[in-house]
Amino acid sequence: SAVISQKPSRDICQRGTSLTIQCQVDSQVTMMFWYRQQPGQSLTLIATANQGSEATYESGFVIDKFPISRPNLTFSTLTVSNMSPEDSSIYLCSVGWGSAGYTFGSGTRLTVV
Amino acid sequence: QKEVEQNSGPLSVPEGAIASLNCTYSDRGSQSFFWYRQYSGKSPELIMFIYSNGDKEDGRFTAQLNKASQYVSLLIRDSQPSDSATYLCAVKPNNAGNMLTFGGGTRLMVKP
C-alpha cells in the first residue's frame, strides 16, 4: 500500500485566514480524496482530487471555500479558506487502490480561534 | 436514513471476550465493505475488507457480510485492551466512483 506524508500535522489559525494542507504519496495513484472529521464525528468526504482537472466536490462543500490542487499523480493540496471556528476539524487525505486498500494520511488537526 | 449506520457505543467487553461490531447500509448495490480502526488522535487504519457473502478471517478478526440483509459485522476474538478504539465501517456504494461512505463508528472499550 502507499505511504502518505501529510503536513502540517496540526495548526492553530486565526479566523479569516487560510491554511493549505499538503499530501505527498510515495507512488503514483489515480484516486485521491480529502475527508473532514469533526470532533467526535465520523469522516465526511469533501472532494475527490482529480489529476489535471477540477476537483469533484460533495454536497455542502464548494471550491471557493476548499480549493484543491492535484498537479500530478503523487501530490495534492487542500486549502481551507476564510476560516471560522466551525472549520476546526481533522482533515485527512486518502488514496485508493481499486476495490481495496484505501489508505489515509496522518491527518491535520486544525483549530481556528 | 443514513447510508451507513453503526451503533455509536461505547461497547464494553472484558479482556479475552469476543467483541461484535455491526454495520448496516442502505445501498443494496454496494460491492465493497471495509473495517477501519481509529485510535484517539490518530488517522483510520484499514483492518479488513470483504466483498463476498460469508466470513473472512484474519488472525483475531473476522468480517461477516450478508448482502441480502445489508449488514456487515466485525468480530474480534480474544479482545485485548489494545483493541480499545473506534471502529469505522465503510462502504463503497454502487455508483459512487471510488470514494467510501463511512458510518459514524462504534467505540469499543476492552476492560482488563
Cβ neighbours, 10 Å, residue A94: 26
* B2 lies within 8 A of chain A by CB: no
Compare CB distances from A33 to B32, B45, B99 and report the shortest one's residue: B99
pLDDT band at B1 (very low <50, low <70, confident <90, very high): low
The answer to whether the beta carbons of residues A87 and A16 sit under 8 Å apart is no
When mean pLDDT is compared across A32-41, B11-20, B65-74, B97-106, the lowest value belongs to B97-106
User: With 70 as the cut, is the pLDDT of residue B49 above it?
Assistant: yes
* A92 lies within 8 A of chain B by CB: yes
Share of chain B above pLDDT 90, in %: 78
| List of chain A residues with pLDDT < 70 | 97-101
Rounded to whole angstroms, the Cα distance separating B90 from A106 reads 18
Q: Provide, as residue numbers in chain A, all residues whose Cβ is less than 8 Å from the Cβ of B105.
A: 42
C-alpha cell at B70: 445489508
Q: What pLDDT is recorded for position B29?
A: 86
Q: What pLDDT is recorded for position B62?
A: 97
In order of A3, A44, A54, B29, the CA distances from A104 in angstroms are 9, 13, 22, 25
Q: What pLDDT is recorded for position B93?
A: 77
Interface of B with A in 44-103 (CB under 8 A): 44-46, 49, 51, 88, 90, 92, 97-103
Q: What pLDDT is recorded for position A100?
A: 66
Rounded to whole angstroms, the Cα distance separating A31 from B110 reads 35
Task: State the residue for C-alpha cell 488537526.
Answer: A109
Q: Provide, as residue numbers in chain A, all residues whose Cβ is less than 8 Å from the Cβ of B104.
A: 41-42
Backbone φ and ψ of B81, nearest 5°? -55, -30
User: With 90 as the cut, is the pLDDT of residue B66 above it?
Assistant: yes
Torsion A23-A27-A28-A30 (CA) sign: negative
Q: What pLDDT is recorded for position A94?
A: 94
Closest CA to B71 of B10, B23, B8, B103: B23
Q: What is the mean pLDDT of residues B1-24?
A: 92
Interface with A, mutate which of B23, B99, B106 (most A CBs under 10 A): B99
Q: Provide, as residue numbers in chain B, all residues whose Cβ is less than 8 Å from the Cβ of A111.
A: none
What mean pLDDT value characterizes chain B? 92
Q: Provide, as residue numbers in chain A, all residues whose Cβ is less than 8 Å from the Cβ of B103.
A: 42
Shortest CA distance from B38: residue in chain A: A42
Task: Give me the residues paired with residue B49 across strands.
Answer: B34
Shortest CA distance from B103: residue in chain A: A42
Q: Provide, as residue numbers in chain B, all residues whose Cβ is less than 8 Å from the Cβ of A107.
A: 42-43
